[in-house]
Structures are given as C-alpha cells and as structure tokens.
Structure 1
Amino acid sequence: MTHIPEKTPYTVPLETLLEQGNILKIKPQGYSMYPLFIPGRDEALIEQVPITQLKRGDVVLYRRRHGILVLHRICRITPAGYYMVGDNQYETEGPLSAEQIHGKLIGVIRNGHSFSVVHPLYRFLSMLWLNLLPLRPLCFRISAFLKKLR
C-alpha cells in the first residue's frame, strides 16, 4: 500500500484574488441570471474595479451578509446603497453596501467563445431588459402560458 502524505489544502478567498489584480473565471450556478448565464455552459470573467466606476446595469459579484457569493445586475444606486436583481427575477435585493461588492463582470465565455460586456449589442439588450423590470412578472406569465401551448 502506498502512503499518500497528508497536505493541508491551500485556499484563498475570491476577494483576495480580486484584490491582488487577478481576473477570475467562474462558472455561475443557478438560473437567476438566465439567459445571460446557463449553468454548465457559461463562464463569467470578473475583475475588481473601483466602486466609483460601477453604474446601473453592471453585473457585479457580491457577498450576501450570510456568506454566499452572488452575481447579479445593479438595478439602482441610492445613498442607502446598491440594489440588485437577477435577469431572471423581478424582485430586487438591497440595499447592499460598497464593501459587499467585490468585482464586476467584464466578459462572458459561451461555448468556448468570449464576448465583452462593453459590446454595444450586449449593452443595448441588457439595458432594455433592465428597463423592463416592472413588466417582468407579465413577461414570465406570458412565457409560461406559451410553453403550455406547445
């Protein structure tokens, strides 16, 4: 029998990697950002940016007070903080403090091909969908109805 030496795994918090200037490639889980991210298919490129550069429509990586990391879109910024929403949701979350935000989405990798979030078509579609936030419940009901018809 071969003896395998025990080693303590070395883990580094994602926040530390971002603070060191690294660009992270992560695989988002769940469907809160559907159709931008489909679990198992898409990857997100995240970079730390100054909080003053964040604006409505940006997708950011933040840590909830209970510890989970979330990748959602900024729907509103107020003196109280940042309000977030997933692209596949209609209820906002917030206010979040600037300290909870650790990085910003700079690109998406889909099926081995990448695109930047500064691409005009991406920006247009993102802002269009964000502006339709009040109508999302209706959009979701119509979508569910159409699926039943098939």
Structure 2
Amino acid sequence: MIQSTFEQELDRKGTITYTCRGVSMLPLLRQQKDLFIITKRQGRCRKYDVALYKRADGAYVLHRIIKVLPDGYVFLGDNCLNKEYGITDQDVLGVMTSFVRDGKEYAADAGGCLLYAKVWYMLYPVRRLWKLLKMKVKGIGGHR
C-alpha cells in the first residue's frame, strides 16, 4: 500500500484528521489519545493558531504560532522550552481547526481555546524557568 504525504492528503481532501505523536502540545493534545483536524492553509496564519508545518529535514510538526512576522512565523509547542524561528508560509501546510478529546470535538478558534492559548503563552516564562530548574535538579540528583 502506498502511503500519501500530508501535503497530498490536504491537496486531495482539504482536511486531514490525525492523532498526536509526541508530547510537545501537552496539555492541549494528549499523545495517541486525542485527534486533531487540520485544514489546508488559506492565506496567512494568525497568532495562537496551531499549525502543521514541515521542517527542512522533512519532519512534520504541529506547534502554536506565537509571533507573526512579515516573512514568516515563530513557533512554540505548548510543552516546549525553545521557540522555533525561520518557518515561512511555504513551510506551513495547514491550521488545526478542531480537536477531538474523549469523543467530543472542540473548535480551535472557540473562546475557551483562545483564552487557553493566551494564558498558556503568558505563563511561558514561568513554565520555562520551572522546567529548567527541574532539569537542573534531576541532573544534580543523578550525580550523587
């Protein structure tokens, strides 16, 4: 069986539904539990959109846009420490329009999801510091 790429599926159907692989979008999306629906990108993306993009190495990534620039975007996974720069419109395949958790579908642009995105990003400096401290403590603890 020949598998098609995300690009081919989006060109063919306009949307794709897929399950999370990885923890970079926790707590919004749970690995291999939640589904997300991506719609082919139409025009520029907006701040706080969760978008599917393809890195130069061929890896597909689903992360949140935290800054819209004239020539691209800055991305950050909800559960990540490091921002990703240099992603252009040509790299972005589509935007998450909804996700399914425990059989119920939630619109990605609904008020509650947008509020979550804003608050979660506002807390980024605190979350980053907390994660870095936890990593440092674990590193020190491992050398005893």
State TM-score, norm by structure 2: 0.85
Which residue of 77, 83, 87 maps to 2:74? 83
Same amino acid, percent of matched pairs: 26
Alignment of 1:1-150 (within 5 A): 9-52=1-44, 54-140=45-131
Deviation at 1:111, TM superposition (A): 1.3
Deviations 1:71-123 (CA, angstroms, capped at 9, x unpaired)? 00001121342110000013100111111100100111111111111221111
3-state SS of the aligned residue for 2:58?
coil
Deviations 1:56-79 (CA, angstroms, capped at 9, x unpaired)? 100000001000100000011213
In the alignment, structure 1 segments of 5+ residues that lack a partner are: 1-8, 146-150
Partner Cα separation in structure 2 for residue 143 and residue 128 of structure 1: 22
| Structure 1 residues 140 and 101: alpha-carbon distance in aligned structure 2, compared to 1, 3 A threshold | same
Contact 1:72–1:87 (Cα < 8 Å) also in 2: yes
Q: Which amino acid aligns with 1:67?
A: G
Q: Which amino acid aligns with 2:114?
A: R
Partner Cα separation in structure 1 for residue 26 and residue 134 of structure 2: 14
Report how many residues are paired: 136
Deviation at 1:136, TM superposition (A): 2.1
3-state SS of the aligned residue for 1:98?
coil
Partner Cα separation in structure 1 for residue 37 and residue 134 of structure 2: 30
Q: How well do the aligned residues superpose, as a CA RMSD in angstroms? A: 2.0
Contact 2:108–2:114 (Cα < 8 Å) also in 1: yes
Deviation at 1:139, TM superposition (A): 4.2
Tell which structure's C-alpha radius of gyration is larger: 1
Contact 2:52–2:60 (Cα < 8 Å) also in 1: yes
Partner Cα separation in structure 2 for residue 127 and residue 94 of structure 1: 20
